[in-house]
């Protein structure tokens, strides 16, 4: 695999990369945050539009699973397998190969959506499974461009907020294609993806123009290098107890977020809000803005220890918001839209740091030479496995419980139980302290193929 490039090298990508190498921190951050946001925003046009349809007239399935759940799970299983593959692939891909991988993965996902529209009956399950297989690795490739920088907190939060906003927007685009243009449920996902395909290619290219982190950034945030198998195992041995606590919470968070995302139209229907125009955009845009402001504020904290503590505080606050807003809804103190916004804000305030600042700050604080992409994908692979199991559990063992009732109980359990586990995780990492300098080159010091 390609070796890591030296910090500070601009790579041979042309004038734009050279200009970015000399740009001020604010200009660089705005550019990187914008193109990263736009790249991953466009990716969601290939992943989530199918969830805007109900598939109530599908008749090729039997048993307790609904067609909607079958499609959701098929894609999710493919996406989960992609996350497991990404633990190795995204940890090892060198900087110069990321653009080709991004374009190839999206091309494969789009082709699968075309098959989803064209294939008959049960074969559609295979097509939507194939759609999920490549998409799970796009996140890791995007993060690889952004981690280990002085302003990584801001840039990674901008990237993270893309999936908060984009999911609702692309589903509204899908609903618009069906309601205003008569596009069928199965053709709609591919057509939505086609609308966003040129933009994805453009923004992925612009993201690829970013120079490597400077030597100063490598010293401040710890140098990031691709990790081989032995490096990954050494990292796990060093931090296993704390990682287990974090991953358990992330498993529940991912399942909760996916359930809210995939069955949002069903939840709004039970809440009496399904007919509201652009309901997904109205509920998700405030969430994205709020979360981005809160997490991006961590950029102002230079010290990695304090930054790690602040990240945990935000996550615990988010989970308590989740439980508290659900209690308020049951008491009649807030309405359905406000509650959906609150559950989105609370869950994403806890979820987004996992995909952005949490592991980046953890590596900076512990001084272990590694890559945040590895820990993110370790958590993701486990998290999406939990998402599959939760949705199967609901449809197979909670058949008499409505989606809304199940979601309400899940919100309280996650909010209270998750907050306790995160507090314990914070205590662990503060107790563990910096280990990189004392441990020497035991973790993450070799580059695959070096």
Q: Count Cβ neighbours within 10 Å for each residue of 394-419 and write b for 16 or more, e otherwise.
A: bbeeeeeeebeebbbebbeebbeebb
Any idea which of 226-230, 231-235, 359-363 has the lowest mean pLDDT? 226-230
Residue showing tokens 């990404």: 86
Mapped onto helix, strand or coil, the DSSP state of residue 65 is coil
What does the alpha-carbon distance between residue 446 and residue 450 come to, in Å, rounded to a whole number?
Answer: 7
Residues 6 or more apart in contact with residue 329 via CB below 8 angstroms: 336, 339, 408
Are the beta carbons of 359 and 372 closer than 8 angstroms? Answer: yes
Mean pLDDT is highest, among 151-155, 329-333, 394-398, 412-416, for: 412-416
Segment 117-135 mean pLDDT = 94
Question: Count of alpha carbons within 13 Å of 181, Cβ hemisphere only?
Answer: 12
What does the alpha-carbon distance between residue 424 and residue 8 come to, in Å, rounded to a whole number?
Answer: 38
Q: Over 60: is that where the pLDDT of 441 sits?
A: no
Q: Which candidate, 192, 83, 81, places its Cα nearest to that of 143? A: 83
The domains found in the chain, sorted by start residue, are 17-208+225-436 (1.20.1250.20)
The beta strand positions in 151-232, using DSSP E, are: none
Are the beta carbons of 246 and 50 closer than 8 angstroms? Answer: no
pLDDT band at 5 (very low <50, low <70, confident <90, very high): very low
Are the beta carbons of 350 and 418 closer than 8 angstroms? Answer: yes
Q: Over 50: is that where the pLDDT of 301 sits?
A: yes
Tokens of 304: 């990695």
Q: Over 90: is that where the pLDDT of 231 sits?
A: no
The beta strand positions in 297-388, using DSSP E, are: none
What's the pLDDT tens digit per position in 323-358?
999 999 999 899 888 898 999 999 999 998 887 788
Tokens of 298: 């961590």
Q: Over 60: is that where the pLDDT of 272 sits?
A: yes
pLDDT band at 438 (very low <50, low <70, confident <90, very high): very low
Q: How far is CA 400 from the centre of its chain?
A: 31
Torsion of CA 66, 68, 71, 73, to 10 degrees: -70
Q: What is the mean pLDDT of the chain?
A: 85
Segment 168-178 mean pLDDT = 90
DSSP 246-262: HHHHHHHHHHHHHHHHH
The beta strand positions in 289-408, using DSSP E, are: none
Segment 250-272 mean pLDDT = 86
Segment 9-20 mean pLDDT = 73
Predicted confidence at residue 374, as pLDDT, reads: 82
Predicted confidence at residue 362, as pLDDT, reads: 86
């Amino acid at each position: 695999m390609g070796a890591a490039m030296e910090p500070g090298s601009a790579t041979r990508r042309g004038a734009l990369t050279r200009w970015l190498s000399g740009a001020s921190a604010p200009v660089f951050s705005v550019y990187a945050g914008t193109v990263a946001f736009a790249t991953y925003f466009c990716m969601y046009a290939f992943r989530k539009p199918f969830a805007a349809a109900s598939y109530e007239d599908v008749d090729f399935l039997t048993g307790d699973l609904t067609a909607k759940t079958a499609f959701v799970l098929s894609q999710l299983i493919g996406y989960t397998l992609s996350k497991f593959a990404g633990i190795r692939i995204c940890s090892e891909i060198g900087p110069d190969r990321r653009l080709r991988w991004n374009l190839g993965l999206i091309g494969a996902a789009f082709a699968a959506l075309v098959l989803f529209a064209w294939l008959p009956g049960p074969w559609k399950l295979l097509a939507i499974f194939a759609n999920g297989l490549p998409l799970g690795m796009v996140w890791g490739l995007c993060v690889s461009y952004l981690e280990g920088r002085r302003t990584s907190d801001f840039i990674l939060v901008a990237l993270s907020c893309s999936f908060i906003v984009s999911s609702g927007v692309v589903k509204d685009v899908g609903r618009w294609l069906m309601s205003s243009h008569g596009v069928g449920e199965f053709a709609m996902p591919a057509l939505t993806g086609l609308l966003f395909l040129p933009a994805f290619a453009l923004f992925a290219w612009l993201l690829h123009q970013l120079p490597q982190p400077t030597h100063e950034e490598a010293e401040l945030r710890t140098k990031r290098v691709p990790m081989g198998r032995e490096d990954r195992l050494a990292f796990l041995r060093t931090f296993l107890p704390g990682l287990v606590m974090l991953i358990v919470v992330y498993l529940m968070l991912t399942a909760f977020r996916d359930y809210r995302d995939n069955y949002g139209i069903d939840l709004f229907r039970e809440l009496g809000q399904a007919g509201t125009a652009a309901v997904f955009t109205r509920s998700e845009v405030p969430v994205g803005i709020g979360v981005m402001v809160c997490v991006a504020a961590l950029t102002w904290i230079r010290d990695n220890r304090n930054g790690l503590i602040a990240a945990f505080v935000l996550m615990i606050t988010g989970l308590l918001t989740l439980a508290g807003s659900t209690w308020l809804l049951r008491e009649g103190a807030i309405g359905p839209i406000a509650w959906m916004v609150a559950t989105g804000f609370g869950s994403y305030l806890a979820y987004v740091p996992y995909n952005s600042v949490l592991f980046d700050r953890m590596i900076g604080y512990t001084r272990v030479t590694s890559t945040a992409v590895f820990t993110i994908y370790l958590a993701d692979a486990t998290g999406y496995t939990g998402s599959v199991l939760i949705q199967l559990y609901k449809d197979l063992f909670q058949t008499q419980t409505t989606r809304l009732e199940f979601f309400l109980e899940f919100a309280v359990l996650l909010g209270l139980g998750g907050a306790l586990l995160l507090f314990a995780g914070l205590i662990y990492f503060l107790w563990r302290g910096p280990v990189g300098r004392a441990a020497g080159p035991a973790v993450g010091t070799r580059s695959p193929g070096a």
